[in-house]
Amino acid sequence: MLYSRLQRTISHAVAVSGYGFWSGKPVRVEFRPAHVGSGITFVRDDQGEYAKVPARVAYRQDVPRRSNLECNGVSVEMVEHISAALAGLQIDNCEIGVDAAEMPGCDGSSLAFVQALDSVGMTEQHETVRQLVITKPIRLEKGESWIEARPAINERFRAEFQLDYPDDPIIGQQSISLAVSPDSFRQELAPCRTFVLEREADAMIRQGLGTHVTPQDLLLFGKYGPVENRLRFNNECARHKALDMIGDLALSGFEIIGQVIAYRSSHQLNAALTRELLTQFSDAAPLRATA
């Protein structure tokens, strides 16, 4: 018999403030309780109470290195770390009020969001969670990268990520395989930070992006390792990629039951699998963006 659980929301509102990595703009994020069955929705408080963006892959914009959403001209940017925190803690219904487009980078991980959500606690609701059950393997490839979904084996959801930087041995080959639960997400993935190579950071700065970000704000890798920072795990880069993948898959709007294994996957490839899972396995048609 397939395990099921009741939907959950947070017990009280709680806020996190910071600055966007890309824009440098200050932003306040307020997590709010939401009605059963309402899912995860962003609200641009600075644009009014009806400026809403459902956290669904149908509204995803094709941009590099992050996951942005737009619905009816309302946009939110770099949502994957928030989406991962909510999915990892099994929070199914939540309204997220923000006063700017880009989410706060904090330390490049989901830790600040998890700590804020844990501080107010969760409340069970009266309906069971909607599940997307993977019943057959699906594999998507792009160049040397691939991502694959498989049926679950003795677990509800397992995430595996294989990272390979053949030209950058300071990162090299790393992997993580984890049965995802609220406890394992808190301990093993939430603290893991986004990372960038020094040459990539230099190229972005020349484009006027991330000019305010310091090596203490994320993991910046130079020739000999993290610059002015220390790793929290030996395979922190692979763990962060798994975190990103969980955040991208959460845009399905379902709790996924199965295994997802990825090799050098990107946000774009993660999103492509999310769309394919909805097509193949969901009992409801995916939401479509409207003009």
Spatial CB neighbours of 121, under 8 Å, sequence gap ≥ 6: 10, 11, 12
pLDDT in tens, 85-125: 999 999 999 999 999 999 999 999 999 999 999 999 999 99
Report the alpha-carbon distance of residue 249 to residue 138 in Å, rounded. 14
Q: Please tell me the predicted confidence (pLDDT) of residue 86.
A: 98
The third-level CATH classification (topology) of the domain covering 6-130 is Ribosomal Protein S5; domain 2 (3.30.230)
Which residues pair with residue 28 across a beta bridge? 17
pLDDT at 2 over 70: no
User: Taking all residues of the chain, what is their mean pLDDT, rounded to a whole number?
Assistant: 92
Q: What pLDDT, on the 0 to 100 scale, is given for residue 185? A: 98
> What contacts 203, CB < 8 A, 6 or more positions away?
none
Spatial distance between the Cα atoms of 273 and 139, rounded to a whole number of angstroms: 8
In this predicted structure, the answer to whether residue 199 has a pLDDT above a threshold of 90 is: no
> pLDDT at residue 212 above 90?
no
The pLDDT of 30-37, averaged and rounded, is 98
- The pLDDT of 165-170, averaged and rounded, is 92
Mean per-residue pLDDT, 216-230: 89
| pLDDT value of residue 286 | 39
Please give the pLDDT value at position 192: 98
Highest mean predicted confidence (pLDDT) among 5-9, 207-211, 213-217 = 5-9
pTM comes to 0.93
**What is the set of active-site residues?**
267
Domain range summary for the chain, segments of one domain joined by +: 6-130
Element (H, E) at 236: helix 236-249
